[in-house]
Chains A and B, each alone.
Chain A
C-alpha cells in the first residue's frame, strides 16, 4: 500500500519502494531477535517444565528409572486422601485469613493515618516487617510462638490464659497463629498501596461531600470507598494469589506438622515429591494448585474486567 502512495506521490517508480521493503524486512528480523530471548527462556524454563509436570501427574514416577503411565491413579488417590482434606481446609483458612486481615487492617491504618501530622512515622512500624522475607518472619515468630516462648511467658506474667498453650503443636490453632504472623508481615504492602490510593483521590469530591455534611462512615462508604475500588482490586488480587501459594512460613515454623495437620497445598506438594519421593503424586497436587489458582483468577478477573477500572488504576500508580 505504501508503495502505491509513493509511486503516485513522486511519480518515480520502483526504487524507493524497494528500499523501503528491504528496510521493513530487516526491521522484522530485528523484531524477532528482540523477542526471541524472552520467548526462549520462558519456553524452556517455564512451559516445558509445566508440561512435564502435567505429564508426570499421570505417572507413578518415584525418581528412578523412567516414569510409567498410571492413568488417573494419582487423582483418584487425591480425592480419597485424608491429608488432602486437611490441606484444603488449611489452604482455605490461609486464603480467607490473609485476604481479610492484612487487607482490612491495612485499609484501617491507611484511613487512620491519612492526612494527620506525623502520619508517615505512625505508619513506619507496619511498613518495616514487609521488607522481611517469609523465612525471616518465620524465624521471628517461631521465637515468639515456640513452646515456653515469648508469648507463653508474656501471657503467664499477665495472668492471662494461654501461658502453657503450645501454639504451634495443635491444629487448627497452629494455622491460625501462623496467619497472624503472616498478617504482621504483609500488612505493610496493603497499607502502602492504600495510602498512595488515598493520596491520589481528587480533593473536589471530598470537599463537596464535606460541604454537604458527610462525615466519618458516610464519607468513607459513599465517597472514599468507591474511589478506592480499582486499587482494592489490585490489593485483593495480590493477597489471593499469595494466600493460595503459602509455603515459606509453614515449612519453617511447623514443616506442616505436627503430623501433617498444618500443611497447605504448596507444603503437601513439596513433602509428597521431595520428602516422600512420590513425584507423580506431588505433580498431581501441583496441578490441583494450578487449577485452583486459575479458577480464582478467572472468577476474580471476570468481576474486575471493567475498562473504567484500568484508567483509574493508572492514576493510582502515580
Chain B
C-alpha cells in the first residue's frame, strides 16, 4: 500500500514539474505582453511590470502591420470555408453511399486522393493561375483554396458516417414523398451533426492557423490572413517592440485556445475520424 502511495506521489511530482516547465513560456509571454512597450529593455523578464499596458499593446498590435483587418478577414475565412466544405463534403458522402452513385467508390477515391498532395505541390500553379484568373490577393481566392483543401476530409468522414446508417431511412423517406435534396437536408444532415461539427472545429483551426497560402496568394492587409500578418510583425525589421509582438501573438491565439478547451473531446473525435 505504501508503495502505491509513493508511486502516486512520484506521478504528481513529475507531472507538476514538467507542467511548470510547459507553462513557463506562456507565463513569459503574458508577463511581457502587458509590459509598457516604450520602456522595454529586455531585462527583468520574469517579473511583472507595475504598469498594466496589455490593452495599449493590443491596440498597437492591431494597427501595426494591419493585424486588425487580418483578424476580420481570417474570421471570415475560417468560418465560411469549413462550413461550405463540410456541407459539400456531406453532399458527396450522401450521393456516394445513400443515393448509390455508380462507381461511387472510384469517385470517392478521386475526392479523397486530394489529401495526398502537400501544399508545396499546389503553390506555384495557384500563384500563377490566380494571377491570370484575377483571384490573386482576393478573399474569394483564399476561400476557394481553403474549401478545396477541406472538402476531402469532410467527404471522407461523412461517407464513413453514412455507410453506417440504415438504407431503410432513405427508402421510407422517399415513399413519404421527400425529394433527395430534402431527405439530405432534413434527415441526413441533422442525423450527422456531431460528426459535422467535429470536422468543422478541426477545419476551423486549420484555416485559422494557416500561414503558407496567405504568404503566397495575398499581399494587401484586408486580404492577408492573420498568421501571415503576425509573421510579418515578428520580423525584426518590422520595427515593432517585443511587448507588442507578444500581445499580437496572444490575440491571434485566444480564439483557438478557447475553442480547443471548450471542444477537446469533439476535437479529438475529429482527429480520429479523420484517420479512420
Q: A215 to B6: give the CA distance in the assembly, Å.
A: 14
For A27, list chain B residues within 8 Å (CB): 99-100, 180
Whether a CB of chain B sits under 8 angstroms from the CB of A53 is: yes
Is A7 positioned at the interface, with any CB of B under 8 Å from its CB? no
With A126-B19, A289-B120, A290-B118: A38-B92 Cβ-Cβ less than 8 Å = yes
- The chain B residue sitting closest to A105, CB to CB, is B18
Instruction: Say yes or no: is B138 at the interface (Cβ < 8 Å to chain A).
Output: no
| A9-17, A85-93, A277-285 - the one binding chain B | A277-285
Q: Give the number of residues in B that approach A within 8 Å (Cβ atoms).
A: 96
Bound-state CA distance A266–B122 (Å) is 12
| Complex Cα gap A128–B238 (Å) | 28
Asked if A225 lies at the interface with its beta carbon under 8 angstroms from chain B, I say no
B116 close to chain A: CB less than 8 A: yes
Q: Which residue on B lies nearest to A313, using beta carbons?
A: B276
Q: What 1/0 mask marks residues of chain B from 211 to 237 whose CB sits below 8 Å from any chain A CB? A: 110011000000000011011001000
Among A49, A122, A141, A237, chain B packs the most CB atoms within 10 A around the CB of A49
B123 at interface (Cβ–Cβ under 8 A)?
yes
State whether A192 touches B95 (Cβ < 8 A): no
Complex contact B227–A144 (CB within 8 A): no
B268 at the interface (CB under 8 A from A): yes
Partner of A135, one of B42, B111, B126, B227: B227
Q: Is A107 an interface residue, CB under 8 A from the partner?
A: no
B-side contacts of A135, CB under 8 Å? 209, 211, 227-228, 230-231, 234, 252
| Option from A125, A193, A237, A266 in Cβ contact (under 8 Å) with B22 | A125
Most buried by A among B19, B120, B249: B120
Q: C-beta contact mask, A64-94 vs B, less than 8 Å → 1, else 0? A: 0000000000000000000000000000000
CB distance from A280 to the nearest CB of B (A): 9
A134: interface (CB < 8 Å): yes
Cβ A53 vs Cβ B122 within 8 A: yes
Query: Which chain B positions have C-beta within 8 A of A244?
Result: 118
Q: Which of B7, B113, B129, B275 has a CB less than 8 Å from the CB of A49?
A: B129
Q: Does A46 contact B (CB under 8 A)?
A: yes
Could you say which residues of chain B place their CB within 8 Å of the CB of A283? 124
Contact of A42 with B253 at beta-carbon distance under 8 Å, contacts A139-B246, A144-B28, A290-B117 already known: no
Knowing A127-B261, A135-B209 are in contact, say whether A116-B249 is a contact too (CB < 8 A).
no
Contact string, A21-53, partner B, CB cutoff 8 A, digits 1/0?
A: 000000110111111011101111111111011
Other-chain residue from B114, B227, B260 in contact with A127 (beta carbon distance below 8 A): B260
Hey, which chain A residues are within 8 Å of B256, CB to CB? 131-133
Q: Among B14, B104, B268, B269, which residue has its beta carbon within 8 angstroms of that of A112? A: B14
Q: Which of A113, A128, A143, A144 interacts with B15 by CB under 8 Å? A: A113
CB pair B22–A251 under 8 Å, yes or no, is no
Q: How far is the CB of A286 from chain B (nearest CB, A)?
A: 4
- For B122, give its contact among A38, A49, A216, A274 (CB under 8 Å): A49
Q: Within the complex, which residue of B14, B228, B234 is in contact with A139, where a contact is CB–CB below 8 Å? A: B234
Interchain nearest-CB distance for A232 vs B (Å): 12
* B120 contact set on A, CB distance < 8 A: 245, 265-266, 269-270, 285-286, 289-290
Asked if A148 lies at the interface with its beta carbon under 8 angstroms from chain B, I say: yes
CB interface residues, A 166-194, toward B, < 8 Å: 184, 187, 189, 192-193
Q: Which of A34, A53, A123 contacts B184 (CB 8 A)?
A: A34
* B144 proximity list for chain A (CB < 8 A): 41, 45
Report the bound CA distance from A189 to B11 in whole Å: 20
Find out whether the CB atom of B252 lies under 8 angstroms from the CB atom of A313. no
Q: Which residue of A lies closest to B20 (CB)?
A: A125
**Which interface class (under 10, 10 to 19, 20 to 34, 35 or more) fits A?**
35 or more
A150 partner, pick from B12, B45, B129, beta carbons under 8 A: B45
* Complex-state Cα separation, A25 to B152, whole angstroms: 27
Give Cα distance in the complex from A287 to B273, angstroms: 28
Q: Does A207 contact B (CB under 8 A)?
A: no
A195 to B, closest residue via Cβ: B268
If A46-B117, A56-B125, A274-B216 touch, whether A133 touches B95 (CB-CB below 8 Å) is: no
Bits for B121-144, please: 1 = Cβ < 8 Å to A, else 0.
Answer: 111111111000000000000001
B180 in contact with A30 (CB, 8 Å): yes
> Known contacts A38-B152, A44-B148, A273-B124; can you find 14 more A-B pairs with CB under 8 A?
A27-B100, A34-B184, A46-B114, A50-B122, A125-B23, A135-B231, A139-B230, A143-B29, A143-B245, A184-B22, A266-B118, A279-B124, A287-B121, A318-B269
Binding site for B on A (CB under 8 A): 27-28, 30-35, 37-39, 41-50, 52-54, 56, 63, 109, 112-113, 116, 122-136, 138-144, 148, 150, 153, 184, 187, 189, 192-193, 196, 216, 231, 234, 237-238, 244-245, 247-248, 251-252, 265-266, 269-270, 273-274, 279, 282-283, 285-287, 289-290, 293-294, 297, 310, 313-314, 316-318
14 A/B residue pairs, CB under 8 Å, sorted by A: A27-B99, A38-B89, A39-B92, A46-B114, A56-B124, A131-B257, A133-B208, A143-B32, A143-B242, A187-B22, A238-B271, A245-B120, A289-B120, A317-B268
A-B residue pairs, 10 tightest by C-beta: A34-B95, A133-B209, A45-B148, A317-B272, A31-B99, A49-B125, A131-B260, A52-B125, A31-B101, A125-B19
